Amino acid sequence: MKKSKLTLYIFIALVLGVIAGYIYNVNVIVNINSKISTADVAIKSISTHLLTVKDTTTAEYKSLKLAKTAQVTIRSTNDSLRDDKLEGFTILSDIFLRLIKMIVGPLIFTTLVVGVAKLGDINAVGRIGGKTLLWFLSATLVSLLLGMLLVNFFEPGVEMHLALPDSHLGTDIKATGITLKDFINHVVPRSFFEAMANNEILQIVVFSLFFGIATAAIGDMGQIVIKAMDAIAHVIFKITGYIMLLAPLAVFGAITAVVAKQGLGVLSTYAIFIGEFYFSLLILWLIIVLAGFFVLRTRVFNLVNRIKDAMLVAFGTSTSEAAYPKLLLELEQFGCNSKIVSFVLPLGYSFNLDGSMMYMTFASVFLAQVYGIHLSFIHEITMLLILMLTSKGMAGIPRASLVVIAGTISMFNIPEAGLALLLGIDPLLDMGRSATNVLGNAMATAVVSKWEGELTAVDLVINDEAA
């Protein structure tokens, strides 16, 4: 079957990407990385020295400033050169991700409108929405709590023993939490077309809910809209089938670029942290599957088998968004009612990012351990609750997890500069987070379908040509 071949091709692309990335790193990128590392050390040393010079009018101060500017230029030049050298690989994943982004907005709009309109009334929307949010909040709490428990158990940062950095040294990540105004801006659309153009999933969901409810409210006239939207959705599903043929190439390009840029050394340097985080993700997977087992029974294993392609795509490209069209198709073929899938899944992509949730507590406490900062039980619970609230506005924000972490750790006097420790390995960690997000959203959709009595007893037997 084509489906099993796609899984094989994606896995082969992963392996070949690691090999190609290593070869390219050793033969092309290693000298550039060496110059960047040398410049980084020099910049940090000069910055520290500058802080000891009290008189900014002296020749020494001006000389240090010029030396720092020169090193910054060297770093910037080599950084751009490295990106140019990797462009051939990154363009493969960029094309795939652009094509996915091209269809995600219209797909969410059409399927959600059809789903809400078919529900029939606002009471049904409220009932299903309540069950969905109950699962989402429970999953979020479990993910955050598990990350906090496991990072305290493993203590990956304790052995690093880093001194507290100077307050003037930081990273380029904006250290701010998600304010209420930011959250509202991400929820309430100013323009439907602007939301579609920017792929603001949460805003598209809000407009779609209004549109779907209004379509149901006008009765028979709304049937024309439902049929049109349903037809458009099926056209987009067909396009999805074409785009998924490029998935192995996209995975190869993305993995090659990451390994070529960082080298295999990044794996050995942070091997303990990466290993413990992925082991923690595995535990979270088991909990998600176990929770699904209580509702779905043995069919939960069939569900996991069905979505493995979507999880591999998310893992390879480091974004769960890339797996959305494929995941939607698989859930319907699993037996979930299309109206439930098109209602729950888009919400999940904004409110149910289990892998990202666990990472935020894991990484935040890790940074505290690195600098020997003791966090009491009350502090950690407070951090968990803050992350639970602020993370709900993270949909659509670039490097969202790091942004939310930056805003949260500053409240506990954990140096923002510590985020530099995570920047090098964040792409590797993002792969696991993205795959976990896909699993969590698939399970949530299947469970809500079962609760609503909208899950067929047997998986649909559908030709996988378009999937």
Question: Cβ neighbours of residue 293 under 8 Å, at least 6 residues apart?
Answer: 300
What is the domain-level CATH number for residue 254? 1.10.3860.10
2 inside domain: no
17-21, 125-129, 242-246, 443-447: which is most confident: 443-447
- Write b or e for each residue in 385-409: b if 16 or more Cβ atoms lie within 10 A of its Cβ, otherwise e: ebbbebbbbbbbeebbbbbbbbbbb
Question: Cβ neighbours of residue 199 under 8 Å, at least 6 residues apart?
Answer: 101, 104, 105, 321, 396
What is the tens place of the pLDDT at every residue in 56-94? 788 888 888 899 899 999 989 998 999 899 888 889 888
78 inside domain: no
Does residue 207 carry a pLDDT above 80? Answer: yes
CA distance 404 to 255: 25
Does residue 362 carry a pLDDT above 60? Answer: yes
Rg (alpha carbons) of the chain, rounded to whole number: 24
Q: If you average pLDDT over residues 293-315, what whole number do you get?
A: 93
What is the tens place of the pLDDT at every residue in 322-344? 889 989 999 999 999 888 998 89
Q: Which domain, by its residues, includes 105?
A: 90-451
Tokens of 227: 């049929």
HSE (CB half, 13 Å, CA atoms) of 242?
8
Secondary structure in 3-state letters for 17-86: HHHHHHHHHHHHHHHHHHHHHHHHHHHHHHHHHHHHCCCCCCHHHHHHHHHHHHHHHHHHHHHHHHHHHH
Q: What is residue 162's DSSP assignment?
A: P
Tokens of 262: 């960082």
Contact 319, 426 (CB under 8 A): no
177 inside domain: yes
Q: If you average pLDDT over residues 153-179, what whole number do you get?
A: 61
182 inside domain: yes
Lowest mean pLDDT among 31-35, 356-360, 417-421: 417-421
Helix (H, G, I), strand (E, B) or coil at 165: coil
CA distance 334 to 349: 19
CA distance 51 to 218: 69
Closest CA relative to residue 349, chosen from 384, 324, 315: 324
CA distance 437 to 439: 5
Look at 391 and 116; give whichever has higher pLDDT.
Answer: 116
435 inside domain: yes
Tokens of 463: 């030709």
How high is the pLDDT of residue 169?
44
How high is the pLDDT of residue 206?
86
**Average model confidence (pLDDT) for the chain?**
84
460 inside domain: no
pTM exceeds 0.85: no
45-59, 219-233, 256-270, 432-446: which is most confident: 432-446
73 inside domain: no
Contact 311, 323 (CB under 8 A): yes
How high is the pLDDT of residue 406?
75
Lowest mean pLDDT among 149-163, 340-354, 438-452: 149-163
Closest CA relative to residue 283, chosen from 157, 147, 137, 431: 147
Bridge partner list, 334 = none
3 inside domain: no
Give the number of domains in the chain. Answer: 1
How high is the pLDDT of residue 167?
47
Q: If you average pLDDT over residues 421-450, what whole number do you get?
A: 89
CA distance 176 to 302: 42
Does residue 278 carry a pLDDT above 90? Answer: yes
